[in-house]
Structure formats: C-alpha cells, structure tokens
Structure 1
Amino acid sequence: MTDRRAPRSGEALPEEPLSGGNTGVVVRVGDTVRRQAGHWTPAVHALLDHLESVGFDAAPRALGTDPQGREVAAYLPGLVGTLGPDVLPPPFRTVQACRAIGAWMRAFHDAQTGFEPDPALPWRVAPGRPLAPGEVVLHHDVGTYNTVLRPDGSFAVFDFDFASPGWPVDDLAYVLWSWTPLWHDEAAVDREMGGVTLSERLHKFAAVLDGYAADAPLRAQVPDAVLRRMTRQSRTLEDLAAQGDPAFVRMVAEGHAERPRHDARWFAQRRDLFAAAIS
C-alpha cells in the first residue's frame, strides 16, 4: 500500500505529535494521522475500506502507508477523549454520551453487513479467519481515549489496531467497563471521571445498551461478558509483554495487567445490581 494522499514532490508538511498513543507514537500531518504500521494493518485497512464503501463516516478512512512505513489514515476532527491522568472532558461523562457511544457501536456492527475478512490477513492478536455466524469484527478498544465527539453529539472512533473477529457482546463489554466506568479504584474514578456515584454508574451502564438497542437475550449475556473481558485483558497484556513489545512491557510494569483483575472482583460483588439495571 502507498499513501493515496501523499504531499507533492518537494512539499513537506509539519508533523504534530498527538496526545494518547499509549502503544506507539502518533502524529498529525496535514489532514492525515500517521503511526507505525504492523502485520495487522492490511486486515484493518480492508475493514476500514468496507466501512467507507457503505457510507459509514464515523471511523477514519484508510489511506495506505507512507515512505516511512507508517499507516496513514484520515484525521477525524472534533473533541478527542483523554487517556488520563487528566480529567475526561465533561461532554464525555454524561448519560447521553454513553447512549451515543452505544449507538456508534450498533452502527459499526451493522455497517459490516456483507464484509468478509480475508482469512490470509492476520489481526494483531489473532490469526486471520472467516467470521462464524453471528460474529462481526470487533474494535476491542472503544475507550473514551479512542473517540472523537462531533458537533452533533455523535461519536467517531479511531485506533483499530486490536480489531479482530468476535461476538458483539464482547465489544459492548469493553465499552461498559470503560465508560461507566467499572473501576475498583475510586481515586482514579474521581481523578479521571470527575467522580461517579454507584447510581450514576448504573444509569450509564444501562444507557450504553439502550443506545445499542440491545434485546433481552443480549442483555442477559452482558454481566458474564464484562467479567470475561476484564480477565482476558490481563492475559492479553501479559502475553504481549512476554513477546517483548516494549509498550506492553511498560504497561505491565505500571500495573495495567493487575487492574483488570481488581476491577473484575469489584464488579463481581455488584453484578446483580448491574444485571437488574439492564434487565
């Protein structure tokens, strides 16, 4: 792949480092965003190309790679969420925002109708394979830090590096964990979310599923899916660190693999409250 919007010969655009980028350096160049490509980039770009072809505009357009081997994607304008330690902007912390991100996820999953991943193209943490009945390609990382709030109150989502096939409820589980949030660390909730009561968490938890228009059978799967997602997160971080990826070695050293286990214990103790809120 080559950059389909490369500058003309001799034209040099400045590179502006962007905040976030927990697993790599991300820069803005003109109206594009660039980051190091990986073995998973062709699979991700095939997905993004499909989304563009069906008119789904709430994800970046894939624009190939540049001469430095970096992935090139279209820049998404709007208010970008944060990745701590600063407090999340207030518009991201509302019940309405939780409903809107649920609606984004439903639209993202629905937009994949007719998309068939190439089994020869691997994902970052999974081999390439066909979709099983009922599966879609999951984003896997729709945290507030990977979203852009647009003027009309809707969201766009970027950073599809961890996309791979799976069950829709598992994508929802990560959103519920991140946006409610289902964190055991009250100090982190106060610092990064401006403080959220248990009652507010229950309302936000339900709002995500309302935005997704989740039916009763799907809602019944959610509590177990949340616990499963938390446990899998710890294993994934540890596996990537064991493979020698410097970003994940650092994250494990900072305790990011242990926090999901603590969150799982916190949520398990309150599981019935959250299950009742969405039944």
Structure 2
Amino acid sequence: MEKLPGGRAGIYRANNHVIRPANKTTPLLHRLLNHLHQQGFHHCPKPIAIDSEHERLSFLEGQVYNYPLQGHIASKRALISAARLLRQMHDASVSFVDGLDGNENWILPVRVPTEVICHGDFAPYNLVLNGEEAVGIIDFDTAHPAPRTWDLAYALYCWAPFKTHAFDKLGSLNEQIDRAGMFCEAYGVTKDTLCVLPDVMIDRLEVLVSFMKSEADKGNEAFQKNLDDGHHLAYEKDIQYISQNKQKILTYFS
C-alpha cells in the first residue's frame, strides 16, 4: 500500500482504492457520497466498503496541491472549474437534505437554513486536478447541512485567498478580490448573496477558531497541536484583514 500525503494520518492507496480511518460519521458520509453519484455527480469518491476501523473508497486520479498556491492550482481555470464543481455538488445534495430527519451525526454543527450539504473544507488541497481543470472533490469528513453561503464564504477565503500568512498568501488585495469575483461568477452567486459574503467569511472563521479551541479542550490532540502551532492566530489575523478591507470587497461586489 502507498501512504498518501496530507489530511489525517493513516490514509493509504491500494490499487484504485483509498483506505482511511472510519469514525461515527462514516456511514452517513457513505450515504451522502452514494446519493451524489445517484444524482449524476461523479466528481467525488465512491464508497466501496466499511468496517469498524476503516473505510474504503474509490481513488480519484489526478493531482492534489496545497499552499502555497503555485502552478496549475493557482490558475484562473482551476479557480473557475472549482467553483463550478462546488455548485454542482451543492445542487446534487439538495434532495439528500430533504431526506434527513435531524438525528444524524455530523462532525460540524448543522446550520440553518439547511439548504444544501456543505463540504465544510472546500480548499485547494481537497480538490483533484487534471492539468488546470478541477475534476474531483475529496475528504468529505466535515460535510454538514447548512446554507450555501456558509460553504461559499469559506471557499472564497481559501481560493482568493484572503490570507495574510506569507506561506498561504497569493497576490495583492485587488488580485484576491478579482479571484473572489471570478469564483462567485462561475458558481452563479446572486447579487443579494454577494453583499453578505464578507460578513459570513468573518463569522465562518470565528466559528472555526471556537471549534478548534472546544475540541482541544475535549482532549482532541490534533486540534491541540494546531493551537500549539499557532493556526488559530493565523485565522484571527485573517479575520482582521477581511474586516479591515470589507468595504473595498463590497464595493467590488456591488
């Protein structure tokens, strides 16, 4: 077996399958992935099997990138195709939301109105590319029902990206706003939605920081390590950055 980089530990490739640790949400996520395929959305892994310790999924062929965004992942084509994939995934998930009874286990809290299933971490490192074209979405661990804007806001933050850390940053503020605009246009964001996205980005990051601290307090070693490494401080700086430039972002979007 080949150990795959990134994400959680213990993820391997065996021929055309990916083997990952299972948890209490895995059966629900397998239902979601199967539903997406049934709706004609084939740009995500297909569940193969599950036991008490591991899940087995189909392997998506292509390239996966991480920050800093360089090469194909930084291209306009990757940005636009990623936005279109997110829209397709959201649309395919609507009928899954309609069938939920409210007693499901999700890692992240459900947010109302529950319009779609949000991916929860629609960042460049969770997209599979073929050249400059985004062809697949992976790692649905943080999927949960929420408004479209909840996923859109985090996607914009990650893809513009509205980040201040030297390793994660790409381009000037104007270039970031341009990329955000291209993402929104490709997704098909309405004008009413555009005007709330900066505030939702801030809210989304504040909730993320609170979630990290809450999980660390519960003894989650992965989140404690994130705090020890100062990840939350980077998010807090980005919150300040978006807040300071909110009017400029809104001027572009209006």
**Which residue of structure 2 lines up, in the alignment, with residue 96 of structure 1?**
77
Aligned partners of 1:47 and 1:117 also within 8 Å: no
Alignment root-mean-square deviation, CA: 1.9
Q: Displacement, 1:121? A: 2.7
Aligned partners of 1:39 and 1:124 also within 8 Å: no
Aligned partners of 2:28 and 2:104 also within 8 Å: yes
**Which residue of structure 2 lines up, in the alignment, with residue 61 of structure 1?**
46
Structure 2 SS opposite 1:28 = strand
Higher helix share: 2
Distance in 2 of aligned mates of 1:239 and 1:262 = 20
Q: Check if 1:35 corresponds to 2:16.
A: no
Q: Displacement, 1:152? A: 7.4
Q: Which amino acid in 2 is paired with 1:209?
A: C
Distance in 2 of aligned mates of 1:266 and 1:34 = 39
The two structures have a TM-score, normalised by structure 1, of 0.84
Aligned partners of 1:59 and 1:157 also within 8 Å: yes
Aligned partners of 2:82 and 2:134 also within 8 Å: yes
Show the 5 A alignment for 1:215-226. Answer: 215-226=190-201
**Which residue of structure 2 lines up, in the alignment, with residue 119 of structure 1?**
102
Instruction: Show structure 2 runs of 5+ residues with no match.
Output: none
Q: Which amino acid in 2 is paired with 1:170?
A: W
The two structures have a TM-score, normalised by structure 2, of 0.92
Q: Identity of paired residues, percent?
A: 27
Q: Displacement, 1:236? A: 1.1
Aligned partners of 2:49 and 2:55 also within 8 Å: yes
- Flag the 1:152–1:227 CA change in 2: closer, same or farther, 3 A: closer
Q: Displacement, 1:150? A: 2.6
**Which residue of structure 2 lines up, in the alignment, with residue 6 of structure 1?**
none
Q: Which amino acid in 1 is paired with 2:167?
A: A
Aligned counterpart for 1:71 among listed residues 33, 55, 64: 55
Distance in 2 of aligned mates of 1:210 and 1:97 = 14
Any idea what the Cα deviations from partners look like across 1:138-177, whole Å, max 9, x if unmatched? Answer: 1110111111013572331110101111110010111111
Q: Which amino acid in 2 is paired with 1:19?
A: P
Q: Displacement, 1:133? A: 5.5
Aligned counterpart for 1:227 among listed residues 202, 205, 208: 202
Distance in 2 of aligned mates of 1:275 and 1:25 = 42
Any idea what the Cα deviations from partners look like across 1:101-128, whole Å, max 9, x if unmatched? Answer: 111111111112321235333111337x
Q: Which amino acid in 2 is paired with 1:18?
A: L
Aligned counterpart for 1:162 among listed residues 126, 139, 142: 142
Q: Displacement, 1:254? A: 0.6
- Flag the 1:213–1:108 CA change in 2: closer, same or farther, 3 A: same
**Which residue of structure 2 lines up, in the alignment, with residue 188 of structure 1?**
167
Aligned partners of 1:54 and 1:111 also within 8 Å: yes
Distance in 2 of aligned mates of 1:77 and 1:34 = 15
**Which residue of structure 1 lines up, in the alignment, with residue 89 of structure 2?**
108
Instruction: Show structure 1 runs of 5+ residues with no match.
Output: 1-14
Aligned partners of 2:73 and 2:132 also within 8 Å: no
Aligned partners of 2:150 and 2:200 also within 8 Å: yes
Any idea what the Cα deviations from partners look like across 1:198-229, whole Å, max 9, x if unmatched? Answer: 22111101011011111111112211111111
Distance in 1 of aligned mates of 2:50 and 2:87 = 29
Aligned partners of 1:143 and 1:178 also within 8 Å: yes
